[in-house]
């Protein structure tokens, strides 16, 4: 018997805070956040140190010693505090920017001049002044939401801000008052910040990103869990104040059986970082991350083919496709991924396998695409980089916050 929804655990672990989605005793998504020191989502008035046109980027110092990378494509709607923006950035400009990606290995944090204020049901942006909808919402849901938001035109500033309605809004079941309140609240915050920026000096921090684990909680669709459970009193209070499914938040306090023991967190994390992943059929995946790409090899393992070997291999490949979709999300694998499925002679089965893989990857909250099969028979996948891989999240220390 499978449960309908999972449990979202938010718990301290070593020097991190974990956000774990567990369903039917399986870990489906995991993120580790520094307890303190993350720059993510913070907004600063930074100083442009130099503009490098051949890579279409500028380097911006957000506080003394912290240089960040700003793609010029992310500066189209820039707000400068030292002069009027004329479409160009020059060294010495003082610019309002938001940290949208943390530093990864030798790469600096990434910035955007398109500011985002994220809530549970919507995002308010200073970039494109349009009304957008999550691709996960169906056409009926989008039409109902569009009609509701359009009727709010006197309450929100559609000329100054863009609004994106998130997937979680479907949980409101047509009762959109909570969405309206959130849109108004985030609009007020955005307007207040932009007004404040006009009177602040360079290197001022205008907005401190919320506790980073809250972003991790917001990234999980509310339809995937029926409870948020934490065993930390401070985290419990922050979650209750955050407005994220407050009625589903539960404080766990059984000293005889700690939360992490109850859900075998240590074991599940160890499995999520393992090179080999076993399949029910007896086959297994070998997942090898490298600097340039991630290679996934599908093996027959302990499975034994009957007389119809081709059908047997097809079944293992289908099971592998399902597991690959889980592992990409769980390990937060991004960039180029090459999958070496078990070779099949049948082109028809190969086509069916690819179609199934595409169908599974469409459900990923992060944009993931099956590109093609290479000349060597490898399936090429790309997955947008949103965060560090899980292994790196668990290893990396916090960044300095000024």
pLDDT higher than 50, residue 307: yes
The DSSP symbol for 280 reads T
pLDDT digits (tens, 9 = 90+) for 138-186: 999 999 999 998 888 777 777 789 999 998 898 888 889 989 999 999 9
Q: What letters, b where the CB count within 10 A reaches 16 and e where it falls short, cover 187-208?
A: beebeebbeebeebebbbbbbe
Does pLDDT of 375 surpass 80?
no
From 280, 167, 179, select the one nearest 219 (Cα to Cα).
Answer: 167
Closest among 35, 391, 366, 385 to 213, alpha carbons compared: 35
* pLDDT score of 305: 64
Give the pLDDT of residue 396: 56
Residue 231 confidence (pLDDT) above 70: yes
DSSP 325: H
Q: Give alpha helix (H) positions in 292-375.
A: 309-331, 347-361
Q: Is the pLDDT of residue 212 over 90?
A: no
pLDDT at 62: 96
**41-55, 178-192, 252-266, 305-319 — which is least confidently predicted?**
305-319
pLDDT digits (tens, 9 = 90+) for 69-94: 999 999 988 999 999 999 999 999 99
Flag the least confident range among 103-112, 164-173, 349-358.
103-112
Return d(Cα 116, Cα 113) in angstroms, integer. Answer: 9
Q: How confident is the model at residue 391 (pLDDT cuts 50, 70, 90)?
A: very high
Give CA–CA dist 374/338, Å, rounded.
Answer: 9
CA distances from 56 to 69, 88, 93, 345 (A): 10, 12, 16, 46
Residue 339's nearest CA partner among 360, 310, 309 is 360
Q: Residue 395: its pLDDT value, please? A: 83
pLDDT at 2 over 60: no
pTM score: 0.74
Task: Calculate what percentage of the chain has a pLDDT beyond 90.
Answer: 63
* pLDDT band, residue 222 (cuts 50/70/90): confident
Burial class (CB in 10 A: 0-12, 13-18, 19+), 2: exposed
Q: What is the mean pLDDT of the chain?
A: 89
By the 8 A CB rule, do 386 and 332 touch? Answer: yes
Torsion, CA 83, CA 89, CA 90, CA 95, rounded to 10: 60
How far is residue 61's CA from residue 111's CA, in Å, rounded to a whole number?
10
Task: Evaluate if residue 302 carries a pLDDT over 90.
Answer: no
Q: Given a cut of 70, is residue 397 above it in pLDDT?
A: no
Q: 274-297: per-residue pLDDT in tens?
A: 999 999 989 999 999 988 899 999
Could you list the beta-strand ranges (E) of 72-204.
94-101, 110-112, 116-118, 122-125, 131-133, 162-165
Task: Return the percentage of the chain with pLDDT > 70, whole number.
Answer: 95
- Residue-wise pLDDT tens digits, 32-51: 988 776 788 899 999 999 99
Q: Is the dihedral of CA 274, 276, 277, 280 positive or negative?
A: negative
Instruction: Give SS3 for 246.
Output: helix
DSSP 15-70: TEEEEEEEETTEEEEEEEEESS---TT-EEEEEEEEEEGGGTEEEEEEETTEEEEE
On the question of pLDDT at 262 being above 70, the answer is yes
**C-alpha 166, offset from chain centre:** 13
């Amino acid at each position: 018997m499978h449960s309908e929804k999972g449990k979202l655990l938010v718990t301290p672990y070593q020097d991190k805070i974990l956000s774990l989605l567990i369903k039917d005793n399986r870990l489906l998504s995991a993120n580790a956040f520094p307890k303190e020191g993350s720059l993510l989502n913070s907004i600063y008035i930074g100083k442009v140190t130099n503009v490098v046109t051949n890579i279409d980027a500028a380097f911006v110092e957000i506080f003394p010693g912290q240089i960040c990378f700003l793609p010029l494509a992310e500066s189209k709607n820039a707000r400068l505090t030292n002069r009027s923006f004329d479409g160009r950035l020059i060294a010495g400009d003082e610019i309002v920017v938001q940290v949208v990606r943390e530093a990864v290995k030798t790469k600096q944090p990434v910035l955007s001049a398109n500011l985002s204020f994220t809530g549970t049901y919507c995002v308010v942006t200073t970039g494109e002044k349009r009304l957008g909808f999550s691709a996960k919402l169906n056409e009926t849901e989008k039409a109902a939401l569009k009609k509701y938001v359009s009727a709010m035109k006197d309450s929100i500033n559609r000329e100054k801000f863009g609004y994106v309605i998130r997937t979680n809004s479907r949980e409101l079941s047509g009762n959109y008052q909570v969405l309206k309140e959130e849109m108004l609240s985030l609009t007020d915050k955005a307007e207040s910040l932009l007004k404040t920026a006009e009177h602040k000096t360079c290197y001022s921090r205008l907005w401190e990103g919320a506790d980073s684990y809250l972003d991790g909680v917001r990234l999980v669709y509310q339809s995937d869990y029926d409870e948020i459970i934490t065993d930390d009193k401070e985290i419990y209070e922050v979650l209750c104040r955050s407005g994220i499914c407050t009625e589903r938040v539960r404080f766990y306090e059984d000293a005889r059986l700690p939360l992490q023991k109850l859900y075998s967190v240590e074991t599940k994390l160890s499995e999520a970082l393992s090179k080999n992943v076993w399949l029910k059929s007896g086959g297994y995946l070998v997942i090898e991350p490298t600097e340039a790409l991630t290679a996934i090899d599908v093996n027959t393992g302990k499975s034994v083919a009957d007389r119809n070997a081709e059908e047997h291999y097809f079944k293992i490949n289908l099971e592998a496709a399902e597991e690959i979709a889980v592992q990409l999300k769980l390990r937060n694998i991004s960039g180029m991924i090459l999958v070496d499925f078990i070779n099949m002679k049948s082109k028809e089965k190969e086509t069916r396998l690819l179609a199934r893989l595409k169908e599974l990857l469409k459900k990923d909250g992060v944009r993931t695409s099956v590109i093609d099969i290479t000349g060597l028979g490898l399936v090429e996948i790309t997955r947008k980089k949103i965060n560090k891989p899980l292994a790196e999240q668990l290893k990396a220390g916090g960044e300095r916050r000024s």
